[in-house]
Amino acid sequence: MSRVITFRQAISEALDLEMARDPSVILIGEDIVGGQGADGEMDAWGGVFGVTKGLYVKYGDRVIDTPISESAFVGAAIGAATAGERPVVELMFNDFLGVCFDQIFNQAAKFRYMFGGKVQTPLVIRTIIGSGMRAAAQHSQSLYSIFTHVPGLKCVVPSTPYDAKGLLTEAIRDNDPVIFCEHKGLYEMEGDVPEESYSIPFGEAEVVRDGDDISIVTLAEMVHVAMRASEQLAKEGIDCEVIDLRTTSPLDEDTILESVESTGRLVVLDEANPRCGMAADISALVAQKAFAALRAPIQMVTAPHTPVPFSAVLEDLYKPNADRVTAAVRQVVEYQAWQAPASKD
Amino acid sequence: MAGARIQGLTMPKWGMSMTQGKVVRWLLPEGTLVSLETDVVEIETEKITGAVQSPMAGVLRRHVAPPDHDVPVGGLLAVIADAETSDKEIDTFTEQAAAEVTVEQSDAQTASPESILLGDRRIRYLKRGDGQPTVVLIHGFGGNLNNWLFNQEALAISRTVYAFELPGHGQSSKDVGDGSLGTLVQCFLECFDAIGLTDVYLVGHSLGGAIAVALAHHAPDRVRCCTLIASVGMGTEIDTAFIDGLVQANRRKQLKPQLEKLFADPGQVTRQLVDDLLKFKRLDGVQHALQTIAAQMVADSRQTINVRDQLQQLTMPTLVLWGQEDRIIPASHAQGLPDSIAVKVFPGCGHMVHMEAASEVNRALEEHFK
């Protein structure tokens, strides 16, 4: 039976069900139990956004609080994964990945390859992404393109409660390291989610809206921005197809290319910075493999190449919104190629 | 009918989740002479697209809802009247109809599926209507309540109609036991006992057809009449690639081509239909449940269930329906039955004939129920 729960509850439920199903699933992270110095277990924090709240009461020592040392606990989790556990690490904000770069990129991502397939690393790193919460430059980035860049890592960026639960279940059951990116602006979002366990395969984008005129390829919270823009554009007679990538590695190239082949136009919407990001990557993919289908130049709607501002006014300017999407879509749809003047008789 | 000089063509209710539909296009211009059940307008819902037919013979006097316009269930789409009816009368009729729609909508939202517990096994069902007789609808392999989208509401106008979800299907429990026909029949008998159903009019589609025959054969005192739609167990041919696809596929690209085989018109397979089935198939335990049932149903690319002899021994009135272009189980399986069994084959329809030719199938069922 499905019922309406939040994105936060959907993630918590996936953790709960997988811990119940498989005793090798353990949780590791800063303050994921919490309650240091508080009165009793129920006061535990359950992580900075409360996602793991209640799991310590249920699973005890399988929920492990750590010192503030990302390289130490991520490294420990990677080691545990190679030794047969299925750790789910909470790396709080993805901005902190810098302190455990080596553990993720050089160790976890490389083990299967460098040990000739004899080692598997069934590790999930849950981490918080996204701007718009006045959390300033060091707690607001969206760095999934960096994880996507590294072979050996899988990268998941869900946009709805349903997808969050099914993709996290898949991530935990997967035998390779998976980076699971949770947009902080989505935690309160509600949606229909089945009570039972289910898993959504990686590498299948979701076409969230069918349309004939233009493809908008996007991910995470921007999916909802694209949908708002599409509703506005529909009133103007522009029919948008909206594609939610769901996973950036593996990437569902087929769904993107098939969509652009049918619409002939593309806007890529990404709230991350533009250089070497998903928007540039997808634009390159389409330019290379579906060039003949394009009827207008591709447009990218992204944040500017700046840190995320703390100033509320500037942060609102920084983050792509529906108005910027509708403007980009109109520009692509109204594009006229140069035409030779009519010849004189 | 003297009272029917003027009649509204209204948005049909194709299943309990439907609250509105969109006008795709008018198939006939205003002023066209129509007869009873002429296709007048094409309607799109989030599940399926279909034509709405004229409720009477007359002139299609007015298109009330323009194309691309969403209309609530029960809302007025068009007015059919005889040529003598004045435009003013049609205006009045249109205004009155607009005022009545809200009542229908609130009624629609109260219908929700229930479930019963048989030991540890939960079986979900939807009950509609409350007249006599009692009709029971049994869907096929991989199906659910929505398969009767176009039939249950229509049949329930003057009857009590139950649609059950098989074990391992829809939101019933995933435990299917050994998945055999006998187990499924036993499960239905327990459902009938639990709810207190007697003198049942059985209608089964595909695997549900085989269940209906086996049940009627096993407990003839419980069943008053029996209808099989594109039934399993009537011959050996079956598209096993479809069965395998339904069991194995967990991506849209794998599943969609298999689902397209269900309809003569593959365009009936909407994104929503594929997504709903994918969402179901992703649940833990579903693949195992389907695998278990499939293993009892087919082997070596042939059907292993045979209910043909049982069917010929049934003493209650029996009707067999098939879509001429069925690509899952060939319509030829409806041939060679004794004269006591009525057979009707619908041209231009596939395996989901009760969806593709819903009004014709509903009419055949109503005739049979008399």
**How many residue contacts between A and B have a Cβ separation below 8 Å?**
24
Query: Is A183 marked active-site?
Result: no
- Report pLDDT for B15: 67
Residue A27 is which amino acid?
Answer: L
A29-47 in b/e form (b: 16+ CB < 10 A) is: bbbbbbbeeeeeeeebbbb
CA atoms of A32 and A12, how far apart (whole Å):
12
Instruction: Give the confidence band of B140 by pLDDT, cuts at 50, 70, 90.
Output: very high
Tell whether the model's pLDDT for residue B132 goes beyond 80: yes
Binned at pLDDT 50, 70 and 90, residue B65 comes out as confident
Residues B305 and B49: their CA atoms lie apart, in Å, by 33
Q: Which of residues 250-309 of A touch B (CB under 8 A)?
A: 254
Of A162, A197, A201, the CB nearest to B250: A201
**Tokens at residue B254, please?**
């794998």
- In this prediction, residue A36 carries a pLDDT of 61
On the question of pLDDT at B104 being above 50, the answer is no
For residue range B8-47, list pLDDT tens digits in order.
888 887 766 677 888 998 999 998 888 887 889 988 887 6
Q: Nearest-CA residue of chain B relative to A195? A: B283
State yes or no: pLDDT of B138 exceeds 90.
yes
What ipTM did this prediction achieve? 0.83
Asked if residues B346 and B332 have their Cβ atoms less than 8 Å apart, the reply is: no
- What local confidence, expressed as pLDDT, does residue A10 receive? 98
CB contact under 8 A, B284 and A196: yes
Mean pLDDT for the stretch of residues B195-208: 96
CA angle at B361 for the pair B359 and B364, rounded to the nearest 5°: 110
Parallel, antiparallel or unpaired: strands B298-299 and B341-346 = unpaired
For B221, residues 6+ apart whose C-beta sits below 8 A from its C-beta are none
Q: Per-residue pLDDT averaged across B138-163, rounded? A: 92
CA-nearest of B113, B199, B122, B118 to B162 is B113
- Flag if A198 and B279 touch (Cβ within 8 Å): yes
User: Can you list the residues of chain A whose pLDDT is less than 70?
Assistant: 35-43, 339-340, 343-345
Contact residues on chain B for A196, CB-CB shorter than 8 A: 283-285
pLDDT of residue A33: 87
Mean of the pLDDT values across residues B246-267? Answer: 92
Domains of chain B, CATH where assigned: 6-108 (2.40.50.100), 114-369 (3.40.50.1820)
Report yes or no on whether pTM surpasses 0.90. no
> Could you tell me the pLDDT band of residue B2, with boundaries at 50, 70 and 90?
very low
Separation in Å, CA of A10 to nearest CA in chain B: 15
Using the predicted structure, report yes or no on whether residue B102 has a pLDDT greater than 70.
no
Whether residue B238 has pLDDT greater than 90 = yes
**Which residue is closest to A199 within chain B, CA to CA?**
B282
Query: Is A199 in contact with B282 (Cβ distance < 8 A)?
Result: yes
Give B69 to chain A, closest Cα distance, Å: 13
Mutation for testing the B interface, residue in A21, A198, A262 having most B CBs under 10 Å: A198
Instruction: Please answer yes or no on whether A210 and B271 come within 8 Å at the CB atom.
Output: yes
**Picking from B79-83, B100-104, B213-217, B254-258, which range would have the lowest pLDDT averaged per residue?**
B100-104
- On the 0-12 / 13-18 / 19+ scale of CB atoms within 10 A, B143 is buried
Taking an 8 Å cut-off on Cβ atoms, the answer to whether A194 and B251 are in contact is no
Q: Cβ of B370: how many Cβ atoms within 10 Å? A: 5
